[in-house]
Amino acid sequence: MTAVAQVELDNVKREFPDGTGLHATSISIAKGEFVSILGPSGCGKSTLLRCIAGLETPDGGTITFAGREVFGRKTNTPVNQRNLSMVFQDLALWPHMTVAKNVEFPLTTGTTKVDAKERQRRVAEAMDMVNISSKAEQRPNELSGGQQQRVAIARALVSQPDLLLMDEPLSALDAALRTQIRSELTRLAYDLNLTVIYVTHDQSEALAMSDRVAVMHEGEVRQFAAPVELYEHPADAFVAGFVGVTNTHASLPDNRPENVQVTVLEDGKRPESPPENSIVGEVVERQYTGGRYEIRCLVEGAPDPWLAYTRAPIGRGDTVLLTVTTP
């Protein structure tokens, strides 16, 4: 027997007069799956999330949660009856409330009201999940950015939602803190068997966190697949270029930087006849990233500089032989 999808969209669209928005889209997300919606600004990813949340009314199609229709020709379930929680970039914490009161707030309104004893238990549990219990009596302006983010996540979890929606929630944090929070978030999602839909424009974030990634461009999902499948077998040129870097040349196979072998040519002497799947390049940029150098090379006939990795201490202006290896 086929399991019922936690979230299913069938030909859902929300198009705006200027042609932007979400074109007819169909995707299915399983219970407990962590799915990222990845794409550049204006591609329709936030519109897709808002349609699922009930914050945006689609022009057509159907949306079901665990087999229950929440949007269709005769259905449009209000956002507060969809049993979901949301975390957005601005966090929207109440500045006059303590951390504990911020986390408790969803349990005091609408259909999620619970008695005081149960509220106290759930708030304590949610704060403990994100390691913010020691800050329970402080206010948001007394917290760091990472601590505020934890409060927003605890508030989202306290109502025990079936679905967690997140729109660029970590974009305001520094790189080290983003890595830490995303690790904690994926652990929580796994431990709670929580279905998460996570909107981001950060490719590395999407690939690191997700069971599957939907890559969007100009209002359409171009590919919806596991991170490895996206990276190694992109559906088209846009996906290949947006998810990582692809080196291209008319006479050589398209390739990823990790599949390029770099050989320094002594005294810049170019071979009369380069080996198979090889081409000569000139290093124009070099960055040491810990354990290796990332180099960009001008390659005659290539539309853009090639990116490659090497442990050799190569300098700008060096001439190198770039050989495409089998991935």
Same fold, 7-241 and 251-324: no
- With residues binned 3-state (H G I as helix, E B as strand, rest as coil), the percentages for the chain, rounded to 5, are 30, 30, 35
pLDDT tens-place string over residues 7-37? 999 999 999 999 999 999 999 999 999 999 9
| CB-based contact 221:214 (threshold 8 Å) | yes
User: Domain boundaries in the chain?
Assistant: 7-241, 251-324
Task: Give the class (CATH, top level) of 7-241.
Answer: alpha beta
pLDDT of res. 1: 40
Is pLDDT at 2 greater than 60 in this prediction? Answer: no
Which of 3.30.360.10, 2.102.10.10, 3.30.465.10, 2.40.50.140 is the CATH number of 251-324? Answer: 2.40.50.140
Mean pLDDT of the chain: 92
Cα–Cα distances (Å) from 20 to 17, 48, 88, 224, in that order, read 7, 12, 22, 20
Q: What does the angle CA 236 – CA 239 – CA 240 come to, to the nearest 5 degrees?
A: 80
- Answer whether 0.75 is exceeded by the pTM: yes
Give the residues across from 76 on adjacent strands: 71
Give the 3-state secondary structure of residue 317.
Answer: coil
**What spatial distance separates the first Cα and last Cα of the chain, rounded to whole Å?**
37
pLDDT tens-place string over residues 164-180? 999 988 887 888 888 88
d(CA 326, CA 260): 9
